[in-house]
Every structure is written in structure tokens, then in C-alpha cells.
Structure 1
């Protein structure tokens, strides 16, 4: 296999793709998706025009790749908090701390994933929904750590928890709410516990 500068052709493409994604992350998260152009990404990455098309068909596909990479980075750490044998409510707080820290310790991450991703295109919407579904699966497995009334629609409950926590994070990032990180964990835990305590046998929950 031929190499150039010690790298194969595939490795050079992967490296250029990573440079485009890193540059896009910075631009999308600071000046916004609507105010970012392909040319601006290329200028920041130091790459020539022809290298964009070898990896992405559009700015939306680039944003989708960035969003997917962010989910891939955080979800394994979140999933590791579940199934540890600790009480369910403590596991939920562990999940929330990882999620909140990831979104809030670097404001760029939260802004890109929770705000800018909403105004991109269909490719980003698909990447975002896939990430939320994976998060929903984690919450569902956590809810199943305790007793569940078989008549309960457990998926609807987990979707409600994920949606509620996402909205809390989004409104904190956009300034609608003024909540420190531990307060966000507390509010998310309140949502989870309210649902978890409502789905046990004899709770009267069927929906």
C-alpha cells in the first residue's frame, strides 16, 4: 500500500475529515450554524476547497457528523453508570452528573448539541434523533432496575425523562434558566424519581 508522509490515502482522508469536523465544531458552537459557511470551515481548517467534497456533501452532513461524534463520545460513559448494582436513584444521579458535566463544563458542547443542532438540516436531525434514542434506551434500562407495572408504557416514560432533562439543559444554556450544575442534577433526578415511583406495581400507572 502506497504511503505519503507515512500515511496511507485512507489515513490522509480520515485526518482531513477530522480537521474539518474540529473546525466546524468550533464555528458551529461559537458563531452558530446559520452564520457558518463551508468556506469558513475550510479557511479555519487550512484545507483547500476540493477536500470538503471528499468527506461531506453539505454543511448539514458535516454538522451531523459532529453531532454523531459527540454522542459516540458521551454515551459509553453514561451507559457505564447503569447496571452497577447501586440503588436505582443513585445510578440515575450518576447518569445525570456525567450528562450535565459533559454539556456544561464546556459550554460549546451544550450549545452545539442542544441549540445549534436544532436549526441544521435533515441529516443533523437524523443524527440527533439516533442519539436521543440511544439515550432513551439507557434510561429505559435504568427504569427496569426497579419493579414495573406490566401495563406501563415504559418507553413513553423514558422518552418523557430524556425530553425533560434535555429541555432543562437547553434552557440553562440559552439563559432562560439560571441553574448551577448540581441544581440541574437535582432537577433531573426529581423528574426521574417522579416517573420511577409512578410505574411500580399498584401505582395505578397504565399509560
Structure 2
């Protein structure tokens, strides 16, 4: 296998892809998706024009890759948070803590996921749907523990919880909701508990 500078062609291509993704994350979050050109990403990454098509078909494709990575990180950490032997309420709270905490750890990822990805195209929209589906699956596993009536379809309920918490997080991240981080987590947990308690109470009627 031929190498150049100690790296194979595949390794160099992977490195260029990572540089483009890092530049995309930086520029999409600071300038906005609508105001970031492919050429600007290339300049920021220090790469020649021909290297963009090596990894991505469009700016939307680049944004989709970023959103996929962000959701994969979030899903993995949420799965770890709910995989313990703690009581259901504590695990639900830990999951919400992860969801709230990740955008704060890297505000660039928060801006891309919560705001700028909405301005991108169908490839990004597809990754957002997949990410939401994975998150809903995790919430669904928690709801099934709290709701024991087999007649209850927890799938749409899990979508409702993820959607509600996501909207609260977006409004908080963008400065619309004047809450502390702790208060936001409390409100997210309240949504989860209010839904499970209401459905459990009404299903027996």
C-alpha cells in the first residue's frame, strides 16, 4: 500500500473529511448555514476546491454529516444514562441532563443541531428525523417501564416527549426561556412524569 508522509490515501482522505467537518461546524455555527459557502469551508479548512467533492456532494451533505455525528453522540450518552439500575425517575432525569448539557459543552453543536440545521436541505432533514427516531426509541423504553397497560401505544407518546423537551431546549438555547439549567431539566422531567401519570390514571377508566 502506497503512503505519503506516513499516511495512506484512505487516511489522508479521512483527515481531509474531518477538516471539512470541523470547518463546517465552525462556520455554520458562527456565520449560519445560509451564509456559508462551500468555498468558505474549503478556505477555512486550508484545502483546494477539488477536495470537497471527495467527501461531500453539497453543503447540505456536509450539514447532514454533522447532524448525524451530533445525534450519535447524544444517543450514545443518553443510552448510557438510562442503562443503570437507578429508579425510573432518576434515569429519566439523567437523560434530560445529557440532552440539556451537550449544547452547553460545545455551543457550536448546539447552534448547528437546534437552529442552523433547520435551514439546510433534505439530506439534513433526513438525519434529523433519524436522530429524533433514535431518541424517541430511548424514551419509549422508559415509558414502557412506567406504563404497564399493554393497550397503551407508547410510541406516539415518546415522540411527544422528545418534541416537547426539544422545543423547550431550543427556546432556552436561543434565549427565549429565562430558566436556569436546573430549572430546564426540572421542566423536562415534569413533561415526562405528567404524561406518564396522566396516561396511567386514565387507562384504567
**Rounded Cα–Cα distance in structure 1 between residues aligned with 2:53 and 2:24:** 15
**Rounded Cα–Cα distance in structure 1 between residues aligned with 2:155 and 2:38:** 39
**Rounded Cα–Cα distance in structure 2 between residues aligned with 1:75 and 1:173:** 19
Q: Which residue in 1 is equivalent to 2:98?
A: 98
**Rounded Cα–Cα distance in structure 1 between residues aligned with 2:83 and 2:153:** 21
Q: Which residue in 1 is equivalent to 2:152?
A: 152
Q: Which residue in 1 is equivalent to 2:189?
A: 189
Q: Which residue in 2 is equivalent to 1:36?
A: 36
- 1:107–1:173 CA contact under 8 A, matched in 2: no
Q: Which residue in 1 is equivalent to 2:6?
A: 6
Deviation at 1:119, TM superposition (A): 0.9
Q: How does 1:32-111 map to 2 (within 5 A)?
A: 32-111=32-111
The number of equivalent residue pairs is: 204
- 1:148–1:199 CA contact under 8 A, matched in 2: no
**Rounded Cα–Cα distance in structure 1 between residues aligned with 2:18 and 2:203:** 47
Deviation at 1:31, TM superposition (A): 1.2
- 1:149–1:199 CA contact under 8 A, matched in 2: no
Deviation at 1:173, TM superposition (A): 1.6
Q: SS where residue 148 of structure 1 aligns?
A: coil
Q: Which residue in 1 is equivalent to 2:116?
A: 116
CA deviations on 1:149-172 (whole Å, 9 max, x unpaired) are: 222220111000000000001111
**Rounded Cα–Cα distance in structure 1 between residues aligned with 2:203 and 2:112:** 36
- 1:82–1:91 CA contact under 8 A, matched in 2: yes
For the aligned residues, what is the CA RMSD? 1.3
Q: Which residue in 1 is equivalent to 2:202?
A: 204
Q: Which residue in 1 is equivalent to 2:136?
A: 136
Deviation at 1:140, TM superposition (A): 0.5
Deviation at 1:182, TM superposition (A): 0.9
Q: Which residue in 1 is equivalent to 2:25?
A: 25
Question: What's the TM-score once normalised by structure 2's chain length?
Answer: 0.95
Q: Which residue in 2 is equivalent to 1:169?
A: 169
Question: What's the TM-score once normalised by structure 1's chain length?
Answer: 0.94
Q: SS where residue 54 of structure 1 aligns?
A: helix
| Residue 147 to residue 34, structure 1, CA distance change in 2 (3 Å) | same
Q: SS where residue 147 of structure 2 aligns?
A: coil
Structure 1 unaligned runs (5+)? none
**Rounded Cα–Cα distance in structure 2 between residues aligned with 1:153 and 1:178:** 34
Deviation at 1:74, TM superposition (A): 2.1
> Which structure: greater helix fraction?
2
**Rounded Cα–Cα distance in structure 1 between residues aligned with 2:148 and 2:4:** 59
